[in-house]
Amino acid sequence: MAFDLERLLRPHIRNIKPYSSARDEYSGKVGVFLDANENPYGSLTGEAFNRYPDPYQQEIKEKLAPIKGVKKEQIFLGNGSDEAIDLLMRAFCIPGLDNIILLPPTYGMYEVSAAINDIAIKRVNLTEDFQLRVEAILEAVDKHSKILFICSPNNPSGNKMDRDAIRYILSHFKGLVVVDEAYIDFSDEPSFITELDNYPNLLVMQTFSKAWGLANLRVGMAFASEKIIRILNLIKPPYNISGLTQQKVLDSLDRAAEIDNLVDIIRIERVFLEEELDKLHFVLHVFPSDANFILVRMNNARKVYEYLIHDMIIVRDRSKVILCEDCLRISVGTREENQQLIEALEKFEPIIKNL
Protein backbone atom coordinates (compact mmCIF):
# COMPACT_ATOMS: atom_id res chain seq x y z
CA MET A 1 0.00 0.00 0.00
CA ALA A 2 1.37 3.36 -0.97
CA PHE A 3 1.04 6.06 1.65
CA ASP A 4 1.27 9.46 -0.01
CA LEU A 5 1.91 12.11 2.62
CA GLU A 6 1.97 14.92 0.05
CA ARG A 7 -1.47 13.95 -1.18
CA LEU A 8 -2.84 13.68 2.35
CA LEU A 9 -1.63 17.15 3.32
CA ARG A 10 -3.94 20.13 2.77
CA PRO A 11 -2.61 21.82 -0.39
CA HIS A 12 -2.07 25.28 1.13
CA ILE A 13 0.10 23.83 3.94
CA ARG A 14 2.64 22.64 1.38
CA ASN A 15 3.45 26.26 0.55
CA ILE A 16 3.67 27.73 4.04
CA LYS A 17 6.94 29.31 5.10
CA PRO A 18 7.57 28.79 8.81
CA TYR A 19 7.66 31.78 11.15
CA SER A 20 11.32 32.36 11.76
CA SER A 21 11.71 33.39 15.37
CA ALA A 22 14.68 35.29 16.73
CA ARG A 23 15.75 32.08 18.46
CA ASP A 24 15.71 30.21 15.13
CA GLU A 25 18.05 32.59 13.38
CA TYR A 26 20.75 32.48 16.02
CA SER A 27 20.85 29.43 18.28
CA GLY A 28 24.05 30.09 20.23
CA LYS A 29 23.69 30.46 23.98
CA VAL A 30 26.27 33.16 24.71
CA GLY A 31 26.21 36.66 23.28
CA VAL A 32 24.57 40.03 23.68
CA PHE A 33 20.96 39.33 22.80
CA LEU A 34 19.31 42.36 21.30
CA ASP A 35 17.19 40.44 18.80
CA ALA A 36 13.93 39.44 20.50
CA ASN A 37 12.66 42.58 22.27
CA GLU A 38 12.98 40.91 25.66
CA ASN A 39 13.47 42.73 28.95
CA PRO A 40 17.24 42.58 29.58
CA TYR A 41 16.87 43.28 33.33
CA GLY A 42 14.87 40.17 34.15
CA SER A 43 11.45 39.95 35.75
CA LEU A 44 9.73 40.76 39.02
CA THR A 45 9.89 37.09 40.05
CA GLY A 46 13.65 37.31 40.40
CA GLU A 47 13.92 34.18 38.26
CA ALA A 48 15.29 34.11 34.72
CA PHE A 49 12.05 34.11 32.75
CA ASN A 50 12.86 37.10 30.56
CA ARG A 51 14.23 35.18 27.57
CA TYR A 52 12.09 33.27 25.07
CA PRO A 53 12.40 29.49 25.39
CA ASP A 54 13.78 27.03 22.82
CA PRO A 55 10.97 26.72 20.23
CA TYR A 56 11.91 23.11 19.39
CA GLN A 57 12.74 21.87 22.90
CA GLN A 58 16.03 20.35 21.73
CA GLU A 59 17.37 19.42 25.17
CA ILE A 60 14.22 17.48 26.02
CA LYS A 61 14.26 15.70 22.68
CA GLU A 62 17.90 14.70 23.14
CA LYS A 63 17.02 13.02 26.44
CA LEU A 64 13.70 11.61 25.26
CA ALA A 65 14.91 10.11 21.96
CA PRO A 66 17.04 7.30 23.47
CA ILE A 67 14.36 6.56 26.09
CA LYS A 68 11.77 6.07 23.35
CA GLY A 69 14.11 4.54 20.77
CA VAL A 70 13.53 7.16 18.07
CA LYS A 71 15.50 9.96 16.45
CA LYS A 72 14.91 13.39 17.94
CA GLU A 73 13.58 14.50 14.56
CA GLN A 74 10.76 11.99 15.10
CA ILE A 75 9.47 13.76 18.22
CA PHE A 76 6.92 16.56 18.44
CA LEU A 77 6.09 18.17 21.78
CA GLY A 78 2.82 19.99 22.23
CA ASN A 79 0.91 21.97 24.82
CA GLY A 80 -0.78 18.76 25.93
CA SER A 81 -1.80 16.00 23.53
CA ASP A 82 -4.70 18.31 22.79
CA GLU A 83 -2.41 20.54 20.75
CA ALA A 84 -1.13 17.63 18.65
CA ILE A 85 -4.70 16.48 17.97
CA ASP A 86 -5.69 19.96 16.82
CA LEU A 87 -2.60 20.46 14.66
CA LEU A 88 -3.12 17.10 12.93
CA MET A 89 -6.63 18.08 11.96
CA ARG A 90 -5.51 21.46 10.70
CA ALA A 91 -2.69 19.90 8.67
CA PHE A 92 -4.65 17.12 6.99
CA CYS A 93 -8.40 17.81 7.04
CA ILE A 94 -10.11 20.36 4.82
CA PRO A 95 -13.01 21.91 6.79
CA GLY A 96 -16.42 21.10 5.40
CA LEU A 97 -15.02 18.40 3.13
CA ASP A 98 -12.82 15.84 4.87
CA ASN A 99 -13.66 13.51 7.73
CA ILE A 100 -11.99 11.61 10.55
CA ILE A 101 -12.90 8.18 11.85
CA LEU A 102 -13.62 7.69 15.54
CA LEU A 103 -14.27 4.46 17.41
CA PRO A 104 -16.69 5.12 20.30
CA PRO A 105 -16.62 4.91 23.19
CA THR A 106 -13.38 6.86 23.13
CA TYR A 107 -11.57 10.00 24.28
CA GLY A 108 -13.73 13.10 23.90
CA MET A 109 -11.11 15.53 22.62
CA TYR A 110 -10.97 14.06 19.09
CA GLU A 111 -14.61 14.96 18.61
CA VAL A 112 -14.28 18.42 20.17
CA SER A 113 -11.27 19.26 18.05
CA ALA A 114 -13.03 18.03 14.89
CA ALA A 115 -16.08 20.15 15.72
CA ILE A 116 -13.96 23.26 16.25
CA ASN A 117 -12.24 22.68 12.90
CA ASP A 118 -15.52 21.91 11.08
CA ILE A 119 -14.42 18.38 10.20
CA ALA A 120 -17.00 15.63 9.78
CA ILE A 121 -16.85 12.54 11.98
CA LYS A 122 -17.56 8.96 10.95
CA ARG A 123 -18.20 6.68 13.90
CA VAL A 124 -17.69 2.94 14.07
CA ASN A 125 -18.53 1.61 17.51
CA LEU A 126 -16.20 -0.82 19.24
CA THR A 127 -17.49 -4.31 20.05
CA GLU A 128 -19.23 -5.05 23.37
CA ASP A 129 -15.84 -5.90 24.86
CA PHE A 130 -14.35 -2.73 23.38
CA GLN A 131 -12.29 -4.21 20.56
CA LEU A 132 -11.89 -2.95 16.98
CA ARG A 133 -14.41 -3.99 14.32
CA VAL A 134 -11.76 -4.03 11.63
CA GLU A 135 -13.92 -4.75 8.60
CA ALA A 136 -16.59 -2.23 9.60
CA ILE A 137 -13.89 0.40 10.16
CA LEU A 138 -12.38 -0.12 6.72
CA GLU A 139 -15.85 -0.08 5.14
CA ALA A 140 -16.54 3.32 6.72
CA VAL A 141 -13.54 4.84 4.97
CA ASP A 142 -14.14 7.07 1.96
CA LYS A 143 -11.80 9.20 -0.11
CA HIS A 144 -12.17 12.09 2.33
CA SER A 145 -11.24 10.04 5.41
CA LYS A 146 -7.92 11.52 6.49
CA ILE A 147 -7.27 10.45 10.07
CA LEU A 148 -8.32 7.45 12.15
CA PHE A 149 -7.95 7.65 15.93
CA ILE A 150 -7.28 4.46 17.89
CA CYS A 151 -6.95 4.88 21.64
CA SER A 152 -5.03 2.01 23.25
CA PRO A 153 -5.33 1.48 26.17
CA ASN A 154 -8.73 3.00 25.50
CA ASN A 155 -10.34 5.76 27.51
CA PRO A 156 -12.97 5.19 29.02
CA SER A 157 -12.94 1.37 28.77
CA GLY A 158 -9.36 0.85 29.98
CA ASN A 159 -8.48 -2.10 27.72
CA LYS A 160 -5.73 -2.35 25.13
CA MET A 161 -6.67 -3.02 21.52
CA ASP A 162 -5.68 -6.20 19.71
CA ARG A 163 -2.25 -5.54 18.22
CA ASP A 164 -2.79 -7.46 14.98
CA ALA A 165 -6.05 -5.60 14.39
CA ILE A 166 -4.21 -2.27 14.66
CA ARG A 167 -1.52 -3.57 12.27
CA TYR A 168 -4.18 -4.66 9.78
CA ILE A 169 -5.76 -1.21 9.84
CA LEU A 170 -2.35 0.43 9.45
CA SER A 171 -1.67 -1.53 6.29
CA HIS A 172 -5.14 -1.09 4.76
CA PHE A 173 -6.05 2.53 5.56
CA LYS A 174 -4.39 5.08 3.30
CA GLY A 175 -4.79 7.97 5.74
CA LEU A 176 -3.00 8.74 8.98
CA VAL A 177 -3.53 6.32 11.89
CA VAL A 178 -3.11 7.94 15.29
CA VAL A 179 -2.50 5.45 18.09
CA ASP A 180 -3.14 7.36 21.32
CA GLU A 181 -1.04 5.73 24.03
CA ALA A 182 -1.74 8.14 26.89
CA TYR A 183 -1.96 5.14 29.25
CA ILE A 184 0.68 2.85 27.74
CA ASP A 185 2.97 3.07 30.80
CA PHE A 186 0.36 1.22 32.87
CA SER A 187 0.14 -1.64 30.35
CA ASP A 188 2.28 -4.72 29.67
CA GLU A 189 1.74 -4.07 25.98
CA PRO A 190 4.78 -2.64 24.17
CA SER A 191 4.32 0.74 22.51
CA PHE A 192 3.57 1.04 18.80
CA ILE A 193 6.60 3.35 18.58
CA THR A 194 8.60 0.23 17.64
CA GLU A 195 6.46 -0.06 14.50
CA LEU A 196 7.11 3.44 13.16
CA ASP A 197 9.64 2.17 10.63
CA ASN A 198 7.13 -0.34 9.26
CA TYR A 199 4.22 2.06 8.82
CA PRO A 200 4.79 5.54 7.34
CA ASN A 201 1.13 6.42 8.13
CA LEU A 202 1.51 5.79 11.87
CA LEU A 203 1.63 8.51 14.52
CA VAL A 204 1.89 7.52 18.19
CA MET A 205 0.75 9.95 20.87
CA GLN A 206 1.88 9.81 24.47
CA THR A 207 1.72 12.32 27.29
CA PHE A 208 3.48 13.52 30.43
CA SER A 209 0.06 13.96 32.04
CA LYS A 210 -0.58 10.46 33.37
CA ALA A 211 2.25 8.13 34.47
CA TRP A 212 4.71 11.04 34.67
CA GLY A 213 2.39 12.98 36.95
CA LEU A 214 2.79 16.27 35.10
CA ALA A 215 -0.79 16.96 33.96
CA ASN A 216 -0.56 20.53 35.23
CA LEU A 217 2.40 21.38 32.97
CA ARG A 218 0.58 20.40 29.72
CA VAL A 219 3.09 18.43 27.65
CA GLY A 220 2.06 15.88 25.06
CA MET A 221 4.33 13.86 22.78
CA ALA A 222 3.85 12.70 19.21
CA PHE A 223 6.15 10.21 17.49
CA ALA A 224 6.09 9.67 13.72
CA SER A 225 8.20 9.84 10.58
CA GLU A 226 10.51 12.86 10.30
CA LYS A 227 8.28 14.17 7.48
CA ILE A 228 5.13 14.15 9.57
CA ILE A 229 6.91 15.74 12.55
CA ARG A 230 8.27 18.47 10.28
CA ILE A 231 4.71 19.39 9.30
CA LEU A 232 3.59 19.66 12.94
CA ASN A 233 6.59 21.84 13.75
CA LEU A 234 5.82 24.01 10.74
CA ILE A 235 2.29 24.89 11.86
CA LYS A 236 2.64 25.00 15.65
CA PRO A 237 2.82 28.31 17.53
CA PRO A 238 6.56 29.09 17.86
CA TYR A 239 6.92 28.93 21.65
CA ASN A 240 4.30 26.32 22.47
CA ILE A 241 6.08 24.88 25.54
CA SER A 242 7.14 27.39 28.19
CA GLY A 243 10.71 27.46 29.47
CA LEU A 244 9.57 26.68 33.01
CA THR A 245 7.73 23.62 31.73
CA GLN A 246 10.74 22.52 29.68
CA GLN A 247 12.92 22.73 32.80
CA LYS A 248 10.53 20.58 34.84
CA VAL A 249 10.27 17.99 32.06
CA LEU A 250 14.08 17.87 31.85
CA ASP A 251 14.30 17.34 35.63
CA SER A 252 11.81 14.48 35.31
CA LEU A 253 13.68 12.87 32.43
CA ASP A 254 16.87 12.93 34.52
CA ARG A 255 15.00 10.68 36.94
CA ALA A 256 13.29 8.55 34.28
CA ALA A 257 14.51 5.34 35.92
CA GLU A 258 12.18 6.00 38.85
CA ILE A 259 9.04 6.12 36.74
CA ASP A 260 8.67 2.33 36.92
CA ASN A 261 8.30 2.54 40.71
CA LEU A 262 5.53 5.11 40.40
CA VAL A 263 3.74 2.98 37.84
CA ASP A 264 4.16 -0.21 39.91
CA ILE A 265 2.45 1.38 42.90
CA ILE A 266 -0.48 2.48 40.76
CA ARG A 267 -0.77 -0.99 39.22
CA ILE A 268 -0.83 -2.56 42.68
CA GLU A 269 -3.57 -0.13 43.69
CA ARG A 270 -5.47 -0.96 40.51
CA VAL A 271 -5.54 -4.65 41.51
CA PHE A 272 -6.66 -3.70 45.03
CA LEU A 273 -9.50 -1.60 43.65
CA GLU A 274 -10.54 -4.26 41.13
CA GLU A 275 -10.77 -6.90 43.85
CA GLU A 276 -12.64 -4.68 46.29
CA LEU A 277 -15.09 -3.42 43.66
CA ASP A 278 -15.80 -6.97 42.57
CA LYS A 279 -17.00 -7.83 46.09
CA LEU A 280 -19.81 -5.26 46.04
CA HIS A 281 -23.24 -6.77 45.37
CA PHE A 282 -24.47 -3.97 43.14
CA VAL A 283 -21.38 -4.13 40.92
CA LEU A 284 -22.21 -6.09 37.76
CA HIS A 285 -18.84 -6.05 36.00
CA VAL A 286 -15.34 -4.71 36.59
CA PHE A 287 -13.81 -4.30 33.14
CA PRO A 288 -10.16 -5.37 32.85
CA SER A 289 -7.87 -2.34 32.79
CA ASP A 290 -4.50 -1.64 31.23
CA ALA A 291 -4.69 1.95 32.43
CA ASN A 292 -4.78 3.92 35.71
CA PHE A 293 -8.56 3.86 35.87
CA ILE A 294 -11.26 1.21 35.94
CA LEU A 295 -14.60 1.09 34.16
CA VAL A 296 -17.24 -0.47 36.38
CA ARG A 297 -20.78 -1.49 35.45
CA MET A 298 -23.27 -1.42 38.31
CA ASN A 299 -26.92 -1.13 39.18
CA ASN A 300 -28.06 2.48 39.35
CA ALA A 301 -24.72 3.98 38.31
CA ARG A 302 -26.09 7.51 38.24
CA LYS A 303 -27.44 7.16 41.79
CA VAL A 304 -24.11 5.79 42.97
CA TYR A 305 -22.34 8.71 41.31
CA GLU A 306 -24.57 11.23 43.05
CA TYR A 307 -24.20 9.46 46.36
CA LEU A 308 -20.41 9.56 46.03
CA ILE A 309 -20.48 13.27 45.20
CA HIS A 310 -22.46 13.77 48.39
CA ASP A 311 -19.56 12.06 50.20
CA MET A 312 -17.15 14.36 48.30
CA ILE A 313 -15.76 11.51 46.25
CA ILE A 314 -15.73 12.42 42.58
CA VAL A 315 -15.66 9.77 39.88
CA ARG A 316 -16.60 10.04 36.21
CA ASP A 317 -20.17 9.20 35.22
CA ARG A 318 -20.02 7.44 31.84
CA SER A 319 -23.49 5.91 32.09
CA LYS A 320 -24.84 7.93 29.15
CA VAL A 321 -21.93 6.98 26.87
CA ILE A 322 -22.52 4.40 24.16
CA LEU A 323 -21.61 0.83 25.26
CA CYS A 324 -20.91 2.19 28.76
CA GLU A 325 -24.51 2.12 30.00
CA ASP A 326 -24.61 2.07 33.79
CA CYS A 327 -20.85 2.52 34.03
CA LEU A 328 -18.66 4.74 36.18
CA ARG A 329 -15.01 5.38 35.39
CA ILE A 330 -12.89 5.44 38.51
CA SER A 331 -9.30 6.72 38.57
CA VAL A 332 -6.90 4.73 40.73
CA GLY A 333 -6.07 6.85 43.78
CA THR A 334 -3.71 6.41 46.70
CA ARG A 335 -4.42 3.48 49.05
CA GLU A 336 -6.10 5.90 51.46
CA GLU A 337 -8.32 7.34 48.75
CA ASN A 338 -9.19 3.92 47.36
CA GLN A 339 -10.11 2.68 50.81
CA GLN A 340 -12.29 5.74 51.37
CA LEU A 341 -14.09 5.01 48.08
CA ILE A 342 -14.67 1.37 48.95
CA GLU A 343 -15.95 2.24 52.43
CA ALA A 344 -18.39 4.74 50.95
CA LEU A 345 -19.63 2.15 48.46
CA GLU A 346 -20.02 -0.50 51.18
CA LYS A 347 -22.10 1.97 53.19
CA PHE A 348 -24.25 2.42 50.09
CA GLU A 349 -24.92 -1.30 49.54
CA PRO A 350 -28.02 -1.65 51.79
CA ILE A 351 -29.43 1.63 50.40
CA ILE A 352 -29.14 0.58 46.78
CA LYS A 353 -30.89 -2.73 47.49
CA ASN A 354 -34.04 -0.82 48.34
CA LEU A 355 -34.00 1.50 45.31
Ligand X SMILES: *Cc1c(COP(=O)(O)O)cnc(C)c1O
Interface residues with ligand X (CB under 6 A) are 80-82, 107, 151, 155, 180, 182, 207, 209-210, 215, 220
Q: Which residue is nearest to ligand X (CB)?
A: 80
Helices 335-353 & 301-310 angle (0-180, nearest 10): 120
| Phi and psi, residue 61, nearest 5° | -65, -35
Planar angle of CA 82, 183, 160, nearest 5 degrees: 115
Question: Which of 81/225 has CB closer to ligand X?
Answer: 81
Of the CA atoms within 13 Å of residue 344, those in its CB half-sphere come to 18
Q: Which is nearer to ligand X, 145 or 209 (CB)?
A: 209
In the bound complex, what is the minimum distance in angstroms from residue 209's beta carbon to ligand X? 3
By beta-carbon proximity to ligand X, the closer residue of 184 and 345 is 184
Q: Are 239 and 52 in contact (CB under 8 A)?
A: yes
> Phi, psi at residue 164, to the nearest 5°?
-65, -35
Integer Cα distance of 298 and 302 in angstroms: 9
| Shortest Cβ 112–ligand X spacing (Å) | 12
Amino acid at 24: D
Q: Which region holds residue 214: left if phi is over 0, alpha if psi is between -120 and 50, else beta?
A: alpha
In terms of CB distance, is 85 or 345 closer to ligand X?
A: 85
Q: How far is the CB of 115 from ligand X (least distance, A)?
A: 17
274 SS3 class: helix
223, containing H or E segment:
strand 220-223
Closer to ligand X by Cβ: residue 327 or 345: 327
Nearer to ligand X, 206 or 319 (CB): 206
Taking the least distance from each CB to ligand X, the nearer of 283 and 315 is 315
Q: Which amino acid is at 4?
A: D
Q: At its nearest, how many Å lie between ligand X and the CB of residue 27?
A: 27
CB 67 within 8 A of CB 256: yes
DSSP-assigned letters across all residues of 25-48: H---SSS---SS---TT--TTSSS
Q: Supply the minimum distance, in Å, between the C-beta of residue 338 and ligand X.
A: 20
Least distance to ligand X, CB of residue 155, Å? 4
Min dist. Cβ of residue 33 to ligand X (A): 32
